[in-house]
Structure 1
Amino acid sequence: MKALVPLALLIAAPAMAQSSGPPPQVDAAMSLLDQGHYLTARDKLAKLAFDPQGRVKDEYAYQMWQQESVMVTGELDLATLDRAHSAPLIQRDWIARVQQAVAHDAIAEIVKRAKDTRIVILNEAHSSPRDRMFALQVARALRPLGYGVLAAEAFYNDPAGKIMARLRHDGFVRRGTGFYTLDPVYARFVRTALAMGYTPAAYEQTEEQSAAAHPADRQANIVAREQAQAENLAALMARFPSQKVLIYVGHSHVAEAAIDETGEGNPKIDWMAARLKRMTGIDPLTIDQATVTDLDAGARPAQVAAARLLGGRPGILFEQGKPLVLGQYAGAVDLQVIHPARRYRFGRPAWLAASGARPVPVPAAFRPRHGRCLVQAFPAGASADAVPLDQVMITAGERAPALLLPARPMRFFRQCVQLGGK
């Protein structure tokens, strides 16, 4: 089976500029993931991504490792990230501005502003499932305001619409729904949104729309993709004229003004949100949550400073009465969400433990005596290609974290490897 690699990476990764697909070894690892072999795929990508000192030797493999690894662990280890690259420049001006800011509750501020538009666009960092759990909070808060369509970059967009039709019928995520939706947290977001009454919609550039791609021209490919996404979303808005739409995107697609996402002086680009705004005449509420984060060592001190103001909840900082937006999205998004400092419950990130699921101990029969095992939980009777409700990695001899599950009959599986992989 050919690995289904995110189109975003094929367009954006510098290492892929002269190629029509991922390197064969990365492709092989991603094929394992497509088949549900999370732990083996993660280990193979780690070997391709890191040298013996833990530094990045292949940037493309490293990006894929980040995005796949969190499907197993829930969040990335900061020491591993810091070791991977040279120390970045600390954003000291951000710290000073954060320290003078006032924090508002993020959900309350989003709801207040979402009443005045038909479109809310929220982004994520693709290596941050916490962002997906926040997206679920946003979806829940927007539903009473008439938001009824969930359009996600993550959904595979087949011309016949069969994938979305099956998702609507099933009410749960399969491995063929998308790449990022292989993450159990993303799958939980989608499953819960469907149960609330949201209609799922795909809008990613289709294979037909990308047929005229220019492998050597990264900028041209980005522009073509942004235009295709905007056109697909404009058509979607026309199909649902009475519905408000929550659009969930990755990184810079949220920008409603032209930006250079690289920060290296390249020509500025009109990203999807800017094009959609122009096509529809609707001013969207645009929200970034991927900039002031602890995943970026340069931004981390500002995130730590902000966390002291947030009271343990996602917040939006205000400067002189206006929303504070730091970094590349200043002037290009309406709001910037910052998340609280990391905390843990039941051996899991607190943001996940607060999702309403109950902690369930890993059954003793599934705990490893040697090596490492990924223990997965599925609803009893789930299809063979369903994405797990939850999964945790356990190392022999260490305390097992709890699974976080709804109160319903479950079946458990495990994938194990011997110690020695990264």
Structure 2
Amino acid sequence: MHQRLFTATWVLLGIASICVKVHAGQKTLGNLLEGIQPLTQELPRYSYLVATIPLLPKADQPMGQQLLASSEAELGLYSEAVRDFPLRSRLPSDLVPPKAADWQAVDAVDAIVTLARDRRIVMVNEAHHDAHTRELTLALLPRLRAMGFTYFAAEALDERDASLMKRGYPVSQSGSEYLHEPLYGDIVREAIKLGFVIVPYDADGTPQEREDGEAENLYERVFAKNPEAKLFVHAGYAHIDKQRGRLGPVKPMAMQLSKLSGIAPLSVDQTDIREENPRSEVLAYNVFKHALKKFETIQQPMLPRPGWGPGDVPERPSMDAYAGIIAEFHPTRAIVLLHDSGRTPWSARPTVYDLSVILPQANSAPSDYTQGAIQLRIDNQRRPVMPPANGGHRPDWLSLDGQRVEVPVDTEFCARKFPCLVEAHYAAESAAAIPADRYLFLQDAKNVLYLRPGSYRLSTVDVDGDTLNEQDIQVANP
């Protein structure tokens, strides 16, 4: 993990707390998990995390940040989620970055479809807090269905929702909190619409028991019933690995399923080489840190020191493996790299998964943290949070390659009380359905939702979960 950016977050929020006297006892990670368990609505869960994470000991704060990042993704704060949990992959020490002289960038969906022609299991992974890693699965669903894949398995689903396929869309009780994120909801909708048999498969237990249980569930629910079946699996992180490595001594789900079924999966990774710590956000932090040098507090200027002249500029962020590949290939869509000689796909760990998918940058707009934190009113106390990431701009990938259009939204009905949630539900679905899109306003502002043409209920919801306004809207074809 990038401890530096975690530190930046708490330095900024700590400054904001100078004028905010909050007297509360320290919380443990166990307290945090116990308190969040009964909170089933997304906004109360976010508010609880914002209020509680600063009370955790330093060693537990990264876990708290992971929960916060997932919550932010559920609420449409996609850039904030990536910024606030800069999870860093430990890549192989002998990794040789691909060069354009030897590798050709091709469309990831087309490449995977070609590689899947002789396969009966395709697995794609995601980073749970980074919904950009869900776009690929959504794009693959119709292509794989046309190739005869009839089963779709998603880690976030709960087998207890027996009415899911008949209903046609997921609700808040259909699975884990990950499913509450709008794009994950659309993945399940699309799979049902295309006629896939939906397969929940997650399991509990120790790390090895969970991997074994997932593999056994997939085998029993698919191949034991239909030995000739074709299965598409959407999983998290290293569950798709065909060998031990990223999970230490634990044998991953894909490895165990291959042993049970005798079928070698096509394993597609999106999490090793990813925009895990946007360079624009690191630069914004460095600008903030540079400005901080010039102030003793947020109110009292400091006397200039040697070396603080016009030539003293903020440090530029270093280039990681992802940034290097982006600079080499300049992708504007998800890509796979094929070797010029044998058309073999590039994989950062070729013995563990078959290919690496590289997503284009999603967070390149400049942010400004020099004005300090935003103060939210939660539980009748002021709670500091980081300002919007990516300059407040929602990622362009949310258009889904032009399938969704921008619908302007603002804080008109928020009554100047924040946080305030604006969300759109498909008009034909119940209020319990996972929304088509949503955005959490942290301050008075304007932004956009990304919606397909059609009819929606647009709602504004306050921090207590109460609906402040609801209206029907029609989104026209672009």
Q: TM-score range by the shorter chain?
A: 0.7 to 0.9
Q: Does 1:59 align with 2:62?
A: yes
C-alpha contact (below 8 Å) 2:107/2:334 kept by paired residues: yes
Question: For the residues of structure 2 that align with 1:384 and 1:371, how far apart are their CA atoms?
Answer: 22
Question: For the residues of structure 2 that align with 1:378 and 1:39, how far apart are their CA atoms?
Answer: 16
State which of 263, 282, 295 in structure 2 corresponds to 1:282.
Answer: 263
Tell me what 2:406 maps to. Answer: 359
C-alpha contact (below 8 Å) 1:98/1:302 kept by paired residues: no
Tell me what 2:45 maps to. Answer: 41
Question: For the residues of structure 1 that align with 2:125 and 2:229, how far apart are their CA atoms?
Answer: 20
Offset, 1:69 = 1.6
Question: For the residues of structure 2 that align with 1:189 and 1:304, how far apart are their CA atoms?
Answer: 28
Give the residue type in structure 2 aligned to 1:303: Y
C-alpha contact (below 8 Å) 1:293/1:339 kept by paired residues: yes
Offset, 1:286 = 0.7
C-alpha contact (below 8 Å) 1:375/1:413 kept by paired residues: yes
State which of 25, 28, 33 in structure 1 corresponds to 2:35.
Answer: 28
Tell me what 2:313 maps to. Answer: none
Give the residue type in structure 2 aligned to 1:256: K
Residues 125-204 of structure 1: pairs in structure 2 closer than 5 A: 125-158=127-160, 163=161, 165-179=162-176, 180-204=178-202
Identity value in percent:
26
2:272 aligned counterpart, secondary structure: coil
- The CA deviation string for residues 188-234 of structure 1, in whole angstroms up to 9 with x for no partner, is 111122112212111122xxxx5xx5xxxxxxx11111111111111
Tell me what 2:324 maps to. Answer: 305
Offset, 1:415 = 2.5
- TM-score, with length taken from structure 1: 0.77
Q: Which has the higher helix share?
A: 1
Structure 1 residues 270 and 92 mapped into 2: Cα distance closer, same or farther (>3 Å)?
Answer: closer
Give the alignment's Cα RMSD to 1 decimal: 3.2
Q: Does 1:238 align with 2:246?
A: no
Q: Does 1:293 align with 2:300?
A: no
Question: For the residues of structure 1 that align with 2:35 and 2:78, how far apart are their CA atoms?
Answer: 23
Offset, 1:353 = 1.4
2:128 aligned counterpart, secondary structure: coil
Q: Does 1:323 align with 2:326?
A: no
C-alpha contact (below 8 Å) 1:187/1:387 kept by paired residues: yes
2:268 aligned counterpart, secondary structure: strand
Residues 8-19 of structure 1: pairs in structure 2 closer than 5 A: none
Question: For the residues of structure 1 that align with 2:89 and 2:120, how far apart are their CA atoms?
Answer: 39
Give the residue type in structure 2 aligned to 1:306: I
1:316 aligned counterpart, secondary structure: strand
Gap regions ≥5 residues in structure 1 = 1-21, 214-220
State which of 215, 225, 235 in structure 2 corresponds to 1:249.
Answer: 235
Tell me what 1:15 maps to. Answer: none
Question: For the residues of structure 1 that align with 2:460 and 2:395, how far apart are their CA atoms?
Answer: 21
Question: For the residues of structure 1 that align with 2:183 and 2:337, how far apart are their CA atoms?
Answer: 26
- The CA deviation string for residues 77-135 of structure 1, in whole angstroms up to 9 with x for no partner, is 555446xx9x9989896574456643232111101111101110111111111111211
Question: For the residues of structure 2 that align with 1:370 and 1:224, how far apart are their CA atoms?
Answer: 46
Give the residue type in structure 2 aligned to 1:65: L
Question: For the residues of structure 2 that align with 1:253 and 1:91, how far apart are their CA atoms?
Answer: 18
2:435 aligned counterpart, secondary structure: coil
Gap regions ≥5 residues in structure 2 = 1-28, 280-317, 366-391, 465-478
Question: For the residues of structure 2 that align with 1:256 and 1:310, how far apart are their CA atoms?
Answer: 30
Structure 1 residues 317 and 225 mapped into 2: Cα distance closer, same or farther (>3 Å)?
Answer: same
C-alpha contact (below 8 Å) 1:362/1:402 kept by paired residues: yes
C-alpha contact (below 8 Å) 1:50/1:62 kept by paired residues: no
Give the residue type in structure 2 aligned to 1:136: L
2:320 aligned counterpart, secondary structure: helix
Question: For the residues of structure 2 that align with 1:55 and 1:78, how far apart are their CA atoms?
Answer: 20
Question: For the residues of structure 1 that align with 2:397 and 2:89, how far apart are their CA atoms?
Answer: 27
Give the residue type in structure 2 aligned to 1:294: E
Question: For the residues of structure 2 that align with 1:300 and 1:140, how far apart are their CA atoms?
Answer: 36
Structure 1 residues 288 and 377 mapped into 2: Cα distance closer, same or farther (>3 Å)?
Answer: same
Q: Does 1:385 align with 2:432?
A: yes
Question: For the residues of structure 2 that align with 1:67 and 1:47, how far apart are their CA atoms?
Answer: 16
Q: Which moved more, 1:133-142 or 1:300-309?
A: 300-309
1:232 aligned counterpart, secondary structure: helix
Give the residue type in structure 2 aligned to 1:385: A
Give the residue type in structure 1 aligned to 2:276: L
1:332 aligned counterpart, secondary structure: coil
User: Whose Rg is larger?
Assistant: 2
Structure 1 residues 91 and 117 mapped into 2: Cα distance closer, same or farther (>3 Å)?
Answer: closer
Question: For the residues of structure 1 that align with 2:97 and 2:115, how far apart are their CA atoms?
Answer: 27
C-alpha contact (below 8 Å) 1:26/1:45 kept by paired residues: no
Question: For the residues of structure 1 that align with 2:107 and 2:211, how far apart are their CA atoms?
Answer: 31
Offset, 1:64 = 1.5
- TM-score, with length taken from structure 2: 0.68
C-alpha contact (below 8 Å) 1:368/1:396 kept by paired residues: no
- The CA deviation string for residues 221-272 of structure 1, in whole angstroms up to 9 with x for no partner, is 11111111111111122223443110111111101112243xxxx5x32211
Question: For the residues of structure 2 that align with 1:232 and 1:77, how far apart are their CA atoms?
Answer: 31
- The CA deviation string for residues 48-94 of structure 1, in whole angstroms up to 9 with x for no partner, is 33469x97743332222122221111233555446xx9x99898965
Question: For the residues of structure 2 that align with 1:351 and 1:110, how far apart are their CA atoms?
Answer: 20
